[in-house]
Structure 1
Amino acid sequence: MTTVQIPVRLRGALVEVGTLFVIMLEGLRFSWNVRRWFWEFVEQCWFLARVTSVPVILVALPLGATVALQVGQLAEQLGAQSATGGAVIVGLVRQVAPIAAALIIAGAGGSAMAADVGARRIRDELAAMEVMGVNPVHRLVTPRLWAASLVSTLLASLVIIAGALGGFVFNVLLQEVTPGAYFDGAVSLLRMSDMIVTLFKAWLFGLVSAGVACHMGMNCATSPVGVGRAVNQAIVVAFLLVFVLNYVITTVYFLAYPPVI
């Protein structure tokens, strides 16, 4: 009987993915004991909100304005300028908001998480927790998973509001579209399922970003260089997973609920 030889790089990648899912599932498994990780959760929420709120607004405002400018020029040639608002807000809700929130969480918050957990590893704090009978996954990963997922969901709403405001400035004030026409297109195209899926994607992307950051920090090389590499790897891997998950979820959603024109 012949055995299939798995290449070394592929085997290493599969082991990394398996370890990542084990850490995330172990962190979620301890979620029921809220009392033990609640204050760490509050601290992480405050930290993530502090470092991501302003950047996400600064990203969403010009993004909404740029989309409104580009779509508005095309709509003006077609004689449908009133549809610009609908296109801008629908795009923000369905795609831009969860991805922007996840990228900010992974870039600003995830890098800090990976650096913090990696620093604890090279100082042997994780080993000390295990010696004292404290599970480091339950102590460190669980609150960070829930904090990142909650803040990411809130940031998605902030992206929608800020992006819609940026598009409003360009479309209404500069292209002379009435405010009623700007918002009417969005109301007619959006469905409640769009918002539910968007918030779910933002929650899931935040959870994955925090899980990747904690995994990279807990398994980094025991040196300052290893921590730096873990931070870089956490950001890159989180970005890739976010885009892959977004494609899969969006495809399944459009198959189940085709867009309404």
Structure 2
Amino acid sequence: MTTAEKGRKQHDGIREIDDWVAGYVERHPRASVNTVGNQAIMGVRTVQTLFTDLFTGKFQWEEFVRQAAFMAGTAVLPTIFVALPIGVTLSVQFALLAGQVGANSLAGAASGLAVIRQAASLVAAILMAAAVGSAITADLGARKIRDEIDALEVLGISIIQRLVVPRFLASIVIAVALTGLVCFTGFLASYLFNVYFQGGAPGSFVGTFASFTTVADMQLAMIKAVIYGAIVGIVSCEKGLSTRGGSAGVANSVNSSVVESILLLMIVNVAISQLYLILFPKSGL
């Protein structure tokens, strides 16, 4: 091979790389917009179908119960195991901070507020996205590549009504339940660690927690849980139903579902928290 031929091949290789990069930069924003649009459309259709089925008696209760039981069995134990160290970590950090400013009696209030306002719903949502969302995407993606989804559509069966709506409602219900579980587990872990390992007073911990934590904080956590569960349900279902490319496509869909769900959850969490603080400002803890 002559030097000119080698140079020509190197030039062709560089040009192919440039074309691929330019094409990727051009395709990626369009694909992102299409994905968000498809998920928004699916979300609207799912909510419409959910209320219609509930009022007309066509809701798939059997599928809902099956999916809810599966989600609970998948996410409960990981949620407990994650909530325990988070509660202990918050207790340690706030106890150190309270000791530095001479406010050891407020450790219970600080730990409780952190668990209920932020940690509970966010931990439950992240575990929902990692454990439940990935399972939903893998299930629907496998059905997609086996042409089961196309077969249902040929038979005139609505995919939204038959597959998406039960999983959507089940993810919301389980997200709310997991949020309550994280609240209890996180508070219990903070209490036990503060009392038995840090020498705190049990009455002071519970008293400050009850004084500063209000029903509105718990309501906010539950509202967040509903929104987070809906996000996980819609994103995982859309990713599963848009799977293509065989087994590798299923793996890619699961990966993108988890990443997108967690990213959206973080953004929505910041937005809701800031909006709540603006609309309902508090002068104390």
TM-score by length of 1: 0.95
CA contact (8 A) 1:93 1:160 kept: yes
CA RMSD of aligned residues (A): 1.3
2:29 paired residue number: 10
Larger displacement relative to structure 2 (186-195 or 109-118): 186-195
| Paired letter, 1:187 | A
Matched, 1:148 2:171: yes
Give the aligned partner of residue 19 of structure 1.
Answer: 38
Match of 1:103 in 2: 126
1:232 counterpart (245, 250, 255): 255
Mapped partners of 2:220, 2:93: distance in 1: 26
Q: Which of 61, 78, 92 pairs up with 1:55?
A: 78
2:215 to 188, 192, 195: 192
- Give the Cα separation in 2 of the matches to 1:101 and 1:217: 21
In structure 2, what residue type is equivalent to 1:183?
Answer: V
**Identity of counterpart residues, as a percentage?**
34
Q: Distance in 1 between matches of 2:264 and 2:101?
A: 38
Give the corresponding residue for 1:3: none
Which residue is 1:28 aligned to? 47
1:171 to 174, 194, 203: 194
What is the TM-score normalised by the length of structure 2?
Answer: 0.87
Aligned residues of 1:172 and 1:179 also touching (Cα < 8 A): yes
> Is the Cα contact below 8 Å between 1:149 and 1:202 reproduced in 2?
yes
Query: C-alpha separation between the residues in 1 aligned to 2:227 and 2:216?
Result: 16
1:185-224 maps to which residues of 2 (within 5 A)? Answer: 185-224=208-247
Once residues 112 and 175 of structure 1 are traced to their aligned partners in structure 2, the CA distance between those partners, rounded to angstroms, is 40
The 3-state SS of whatever aligns with 1:33 is: helix
Aligned to 2:111: 88
Instruction: State the AA in 2 paired with 1:33.
Output: D
> Who is 1:122 aligned against?
145
SS of the aligned residue for 2:74 comes to helix
Aligned partners of 2:267, 2:197: CA distance in 1, in Å?
37
**Structure 1: gaps spanning 5 or more residues:** 1-5
TM-aligned CA deviation for residue 52 of structure 1: 0.6
CA contact (8 A) 1:26 1:138 kept: no
Using the TM superposition, give the Cα deviation of residue 53 of structure 1 relative to its aligned residue in structure 2, in angstroms.
0.6
Runs of 4+ in 1 over 6 A off after TM superposition: none
Q: Distance in 2 between matches of 1:170 and 1:192?
A: 25
1:145–1:211 contact (8 Å) kept in structure 2: yes
Q: How far is 1:80 from its partner? A: 1.3
What is the one-letter code of the residue matched to 2:170? A
Q: Which amino acid aligns with 1:189?
A: F
Task: Give the partner amino acid of 1:57.
Answer: I
**Aligned partners of 2:257 and 2:37: how far apart in 1?**
15
1:136 is matched with which residue: 152, 159, 173?
Answer: 159
Residue 12 of structure 1 aligns with an amino acid whose one-letter code is: A
Distance in structure 2 (CA, Å) of the matches to 1:9 and 1:95: 33
Structure-2 separation of matches of 1:201 and 1:16: 23
Q: Distance in 2 between matches of 1:86 and 1:193?
A: 15
Secondary structure of the structure 2 residue equivalent to 1:258 = coil
Deviation at 1:7, TM superposition (A): 4.9
Larger radius of gyration: 2
Structure-2 separation of matches of 1:33 and 1:66: 44
Given residue 243 of structure 1, which amino acid in structure 2 is its aligned partner? M
CA distance in 2, matches of 1:49, 1:258: 35
Alpha-carbon distance between aligned partners in 2 of 1:219 and 1:247, rounded to the nearest angstrom = 29
Aligned partner letter, 2:129: A
CA drift at 1:184: 1.5
